Amino acid sequence: MFNKLFQACACLLLTGIPFDIQADVNSVDEAKAAYIMPLADKSLLTDVQQVNNDFFVAVGERGHILLSTNGNEWQQAAVPVQSMLTAVYFVDEMRGWAVGHDAVILATRDGGTSWQLQQFLPQEDKPLLDVYFRDAQFGIAVGAYGLFYKTTDGGSSWEQALFIELAAEDDKEYLLDLQQSDPEIYRAELSSILPHFNRLFVDGNTLYMVGEAGFIAKSSDFGDSWQRMEEFYNGSLFDLHRTADMSLLAVGLRGNVFRSEDNGQSWQQIELSESATLNSVFSDTQGNIYLAGNAGSLFYSNDDGLSFTERSQADGKAILNGVVQNGSLLLVTEVGIKVLKLDKSE
């Protein structure tokens, strides 16, 4: 498995001005509603968000969206698709979005009780892997094979964008030549060359994106233009996090962890005791940092990510993401919700 279990499930200028393609919901009639399952909280779940102190939302396989007011008891919401969902994001207690396979985008305006289909493109056969909204109107959804959609109206319409500055440096000269000779083939070629975009991370006014083959890029204008940063690792990166002491942590394949104290200009590799792929990194209000990954991998740090102590789970089940609440870790895993009590030292 890999980030969000994607493997298992599976006219543009250097100025950064994107070529926009209007996205549609062509296949809404083909969508089938998710089944309400009594054990949905025991199934594969891929993402979780703590919206406020007593409101949690988790998403996962077969279109499952789960809601909780305490992190222990969960209620499944009615969802109009059965596609695997990979990420969820709420801007407030009422308005949220979820994305997943079939390039699906769902939205709620009533705190997750009901969900509306904003995009469903099974013919694309490409998953979206993350979603973020700056406010109730401006949002971005990204995914495999360079998928990048944006909205300025809360998701009533989504436009696909392609950015040549996100291509590898070795490919840009070829792409620019192709752009002049055959714009249509150029767009198709750029789409095929771009890496998987695995995760978005917002740090103040800077938007970061990490992905396949050491890809990392940042934007200071909410994704209208991008700067691809120098690669420091040739494997996939699955998450990025700013620590309480202002370091950056990047995690990825085979237990690789990298730490930067200069906003990504240079990186130091941090050694772990295990080498399973890491899917996510998150922290609590005290600044403790947690890494979660495949094969039950779980680590924590209380020294700003300079070192990590292992707390991996014996069942060996993949952990996809988590949050810290009321002295416990609330984790979403390949076998559903798992709540772990934290020691006072953690």
Q: What is the pLDDT of residues 111-163, one digit of tens each?
A: 999 999 999 999 988 999 999 999 999 999 999 999 999 999 999 999 999 99
What's the CA gap between 187 and 181, in Å, rounded? 12
Question: So what's the pLDDT on residue 124?
Answer: 85
Q: What is the pLDDT of residues 4-27, one digit of tens each?
A: 444 434 322 222 333 333 344 455
Element (H, E) at 320: strand 319-325
pLDDT class of 30 with cuts at 50, 70, 90: confident
Question: So what's the pLDDT on residue 62?
Answer: 97
Average pLDDT over residues 285-297: 96
Task: State the DSSP string of 69-101.
Answer: SSSSS-EEPB-S--SPEEEEEESSSS-EEEEET
Question: So what's the pLDDT on residue 28?
Answer: 58
Average pLDDT over residues 165-190: 91
- Residue of 2 and 179 predicted with greater confidence: 179
Q: What is the pLDDT of residues 232-270, one digit of tens each?
A: 999 999 999 999 999 999 999 999 999 999 999 999 999
For residue 213, give both structure tokens: 């083959």
Mean pLDDT, rounded, of the chain: 91
Which residues lie below 8 Å from residue 309, measured CB to CB, with a gap of 6+? 299, 300, 301
pLDDT of residue 45 exceeding 70: yes
pLDDT class of 1 with cuts at 50, 70, 90: very low
Q: Which CATH superfamily is domain 1-162 in?
A: TolB, C-terminal domain (2.120.10.30)
What is the edge-to-edge ordering of all strands in the sheet holding 116-119? 85-90, 96-100, 104-108, 116-119
Look up the pTM and report it.
0.91
What's the CA gap between 310 and 149, in Å, rounded? 37
Question: So what's the pLDDT on residue 10?
Answer: 39
Question: So what's the pLDDT on residue 299?
Answer: 98
Q: What is the pLDDT of residues 314-335, one digit of tens each?
A: 999 999 999 999 889 999 999 9
Burial class (CB in 10 A: 0-12, 13-18, 19+), 151: buried
Question: So what's the pLDDT on residue 194?
Answer: 95
pLDDT of residue 337 exceeding 90: yes
